Amino acid sequence: MNPNVRTGFVTQQGMAFDEAVEAADHFGFDFVELMLDGAGARSRLDPASVRNAVDAVNTDRPAGRALSVLAHLPFGGFDLGSPHERVREGTVRELEAYLDLAADIGVEKAVVHPDSHAWGAAWDRSTVREGVVESVRTLDAYAADRDVELCAENVPYSVFRTHEFDRLLADTEVSMTLDTGHARMDGRDSGGIASFVADHGERISHVHLNDTRGSKDEHLPFGAGTIDFEQVFEAFPAEWDGTLSLEVYTLNYDYVGTSKERLDELL
């Protein structure tokens, strides 16, 4: 894989952001992806504190190896495709406020779930899908105006699984976050994920390395599941220089460090 590919990890609920920044520096990551919910909600997170924590570790990092910050926008309680216009507009406005927070922190990329919880018995998927597309277009433009790259993530059981994601890419200019575990939940094996990468690699900017043993959202330490990541990585274009984020459900940073060691062996 291209040596310019950068690696990091997603923070989990219960991880203090300053400790996560220190851990990212300790293990030699290129970035940390902050989950902007819970303790990371905009009503609780002080952007200056994040900037100061990052600046503190960067004083000792070599030139060209500064630790950067990515963000995962909140998704619980949000509905980008709601057929109820004020609900959808409220979701867009709130996520715009989070993009303002991300820009204030100095975030490079922000992950969003292009999802809806509209009642399927009352609203057809095409109507809901159109609402999501319109919302993503609005948020993508808003993010770009703040020098943040918006990356829409494939979400299982949603209107934009990997099987429908090409429609979102065709109807918007948004970049993509590929979540490998979510792709498994769509029924794809490692070859199926690799095939998706081969078809859409030029639009994939960010990857959530979510390892799993089957069609479950397990978020295991990297290499503990059954996804053949070597096969997936080989499907990317030779010039691909995006970001790879370990998404491991743990509060033990040792598992994050071990995951990085295993990832480095493949890169």
Instruction: Return the amino acid letter for 92.
Output: V
At 40 the pLDDT is 96
CA distances 48 to 21, 51, 113, 209, 251, Å, are 14, 5, 26, 29, 24
Model confidence, pTM = 0.97
What pLDDT shows up at residue 230? 98
- 7-27 core/surface letters (b: 16 or more CB in 10 A; e: else): bbbbbbeebebeebbbbbbeb
Which helix (H) or strand (E) element contains residue 27? none
Q: What is the pLDDT of residue 216?
A: 86
Report domain 6-266's class.
alpha beta
Kindly list the averaged pLDDT for each block of 10 residues, start to end, along the chain of length 267.
95 96 98 98 97 96 94 98 98 99 98 96 96 99 99 97 97 99 97 98 98 93 97 97 98 98 97
Q: Helix %, strand %, coil % for the chain, to 5?
A: 40, 15, 45
Please state, in angstroms and rounded to a whole number, the distance separating the CA atoms of residues 43 and 178. Answer: 28
CA-CA distance, 220 to 255, in Å (whole number)? Answer: 9
Compute the chain's Rg from CA coordinates.
Answer: 18
User: What per-residue confidence (pLDDT) applies to 201?
Assistant: 97
DSSP 189: -
Other beta carbons within 10 Å of 227: 24
DSSP summary character for residue 201: T
Distance from chain centroid for Cα 14: 18
pLDDT of residue 261: 98
Please, which residues bridge with residue 72 across strands? Answer: 35, 111
Closest CA to 177 of 248, 111, 238, 242: 111
Question: Which of 181, 234, 179 minimizes the C-alpha distance to 33?
Answer: 179
